[in-house]
């Protein structure tokens, strides 16, 4: 371990990153940029070719990434391949492959298992392997370690070293997050964790906290479960306010004036690649154990129900005008999962559209960031029986309620993110419903 530590400190350690996705590619670029020789491993040949041609394989706007990729590829610091044999001389191997959960909320580790199975036989003696993917607590001990020992024929801490350092990057801020967010650095031994800190110190300008592997697995899944529970609380409060005549947006503002309160934003649902998945990874970590897990699954259920609540608001509002969803034409504003993003993974809008179509409604989708849904929303609104705001894109904050009202066949607007001012919407003649606002109390 001492030799490896020294090579890492003087950047002579040869690095590999397996999985050139939205996490692996920026990680590879960043380590290459600091002076390491980095090999990117990717099974999709098109991606390998693009990376070697300095063409970014990441969609969406990632400030600085395309330029950095060009710089490190042209400098010969980063190259990509699909051939695992090229890993034979690598001292440090970071693994950034997907760890999704299936419809039964069980983690699918096929990609991770496949990588570990292929890596074992070619692994350099005393190499350091670091899992950066988000994994359920206990995965390092029960899945990664045994699989690597079997595929390499060596024992951990004798023939190789092992740790996990969960990624903390968000779409749209990949490089900034990589450099600026603290990391929990889990090692199978304290020495391994310290060596990992020496590695990440070259890239991360924030806290690097050495811990054991179970702690690293817990922190990552808990930080996102915490957010999911917080959002679910806000959503449940929104439902209460709708029913008892409150306005959740006002209530939230005043609650958060109380010390140590930070009530999150209620809304039309919780999408993305992290928040909907990581709570299930955390729960899976205690599967088979007699632990009464209630709050985390219940929070997931609340958040998953919000797009359906939007359907209910729409149906109720149309019904108050003598209309039904069936045969109506609905304009859905926003398909990405997050404001000002083009990322549609686990989008709440997808759930909403699916249910509207079940009612045989005609759905027109607009999203300024998602290529297949770009267009002129004013044209799309013409003749629609209602509009539904699902995402707080900044473009939607400029919508003139009077303009919208003039275009709709039936002047109904259901707002899932509090984008439009209630008073202005009403003054424009819109029949306006908003998550967390009761019908009666709207001025």
Residues that bind ligand SAJ (CB under 6 A): 168-170, 223-224, 227, 231, 264-265, 267, 270-272, 274-275, 337-338
Catalytic residue among 29, 165, 213, 274: 274
| Closest separation in Å from C-beta 264 to ligand SAJ | 3
Task: Read off the DSSP letter of residue 59.
Answer: -
Indicate the residue among 281 and 431 with the shorter CB distance to ligand SAJ.
Answer: 281
Residue 349: C-alpha distances to residues 169, 265, 366 (Å): 23, 17, 11
Active site residue 329: no
Indicate the residue among 237 and 408 with the shorter CB distance to ligand SAJ.
Answer: 237
| Closest separation in Å from C-beta 148 to ligand SAJ | 25
Indicate the residue among 168 and 366 with the shorter CB distance to ligand SAJ.
Answer: 168
| Closest separation in Å from C-beta 223 to ligand SAJ | 6
**Helix/strand/coil for 306:** helix
DSSP code string of 352-400: HHHHHHHTT-EEEEE-SSSGGG-S-HHHHHTT-SEEEE-S--GGGGG--
| Closest separation in Å from C-beta 335 to ligand SAJ | 12
Asked whether the CA dihedral 273, 143, 189, 129 is positive or negative, the reply is negative
Which residue has 């915490």 as its token pair? 226
d(CA 437, CA 250): 10
Which of 79, 75, 67, 62 is closest to 28 using CA atoms? Answer: 79
Residue nearest to ligand SAJ (CB): 272
Tell how far CA 240 is from the center of its chain.
28
Active site residue 434: no
| Closest separation in Å from C-beta 119 to ligand SAJ | 25
Which residue has 């479960």 as its token pair? 225
Indicate the residue among 161 and 396 with the shorter CB distance to ligand SAJ.
Answer: 396
Catalytic residue among 47, 165, 213, 220: 220
Which of 299, 313, 312, 238 is closest to 270 using CA atoms? Answer: 299
Task: Read off the DSSP letter of residue 259.
Answer: T
Indicate the residue among 6 and 173 with the shorter CB distance to ligand SAJ.
Answer: 173
How many other C-beta atoms can be found within 10 angstroms of the C-beta atom of residue 86?
15
Which residues form the catalytic set? Answer: 220, 274
């Amino acid at each position: 371990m001492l030799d490896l530590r020294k090579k890492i400190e003087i950047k002579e350690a040869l690095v590999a990153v397996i999985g050139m996705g939205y996490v692996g590619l920026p990680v590879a670029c960043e380590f290459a940029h600091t002076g390491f020789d980095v090999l990117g491993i990717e099974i999709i040949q098109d991606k390998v070719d693009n990376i070697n041609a300095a063409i970014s394989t990441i969609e969406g706007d990632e400030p600085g990434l395309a330029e950095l990729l060009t710089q490190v590829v042209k400098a010969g610091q980063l190259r990509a391949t699909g051939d695992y044999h090229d890993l034979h001389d690598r001292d440090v191997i970071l693994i950034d492959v997907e760890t999704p959960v299936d419809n039964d909320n069980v983690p699918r580790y096929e990609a991770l298992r496949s990588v570990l199975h292929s890596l074992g036989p070619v692994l350099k003696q005393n190499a350091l392997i670091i899992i950066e993917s988000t994994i359920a607590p206990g995965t390092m001990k029960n899945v990664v370690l045994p699989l690597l020992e079997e595929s390499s024929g060596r024992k951990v801490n004798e023939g190789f070293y092992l740790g996990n350092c969960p990624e903390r990057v968000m779409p749209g801020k990949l490089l900034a997050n990589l450099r600026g967010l603290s990391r929990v650095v889990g090692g199978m031994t304290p020495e391994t964790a310290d060596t990992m800190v020496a590695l990440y110190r070259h890239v991360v300008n924030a806290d690097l906290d050495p811990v054991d592997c179970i702690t690293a697995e817990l922190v990552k899944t808990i930080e996102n479960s915490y957010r999911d529970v917080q959002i679910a609380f806000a959503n449940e409060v929104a439902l209460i306010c709708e029913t008892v005549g409150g306005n959740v947006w006002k209530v939230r503002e005043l609650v958060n004036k109380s010390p140590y309160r930070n009530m999150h934003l209620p809304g039309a649902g919780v999408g993305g690649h992290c928040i909907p998945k990581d709570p299930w990874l955390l729960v899976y970590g205690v599967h088979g154990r007699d632990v009464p897990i209630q709050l985390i699954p219940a929070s997931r259920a609340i958040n998953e129900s919000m797009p359906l609540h939007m359907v209910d608001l729409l149906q109720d509002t149309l019904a108050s005008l003598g209309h039904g969803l069936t045969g109506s034409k609905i304009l859905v504003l926003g398909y990405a999962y997050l404001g000002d993003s083009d990322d549609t993974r686990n989008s709440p809008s997808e759930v909403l559209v699916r249910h509207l179509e079940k009612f045989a409604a005609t759905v027109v989708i607009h999203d300024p960031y998602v290529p297949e849904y770009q267009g002129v929303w004013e044209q799309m609104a013409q003749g629609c029986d209602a509009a539904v705001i699902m995402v707080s894109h900044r473009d939607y904050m400029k919508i003139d309620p009077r303009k919208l009202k003039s275009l709709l066949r039936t002047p109904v607007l259901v707002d899932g993110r509090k984008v439009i001012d209630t008073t202005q919407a009403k003054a424009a003649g819109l029949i306006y419903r908003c998550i967390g606002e009761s019908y009666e109390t709207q001025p």
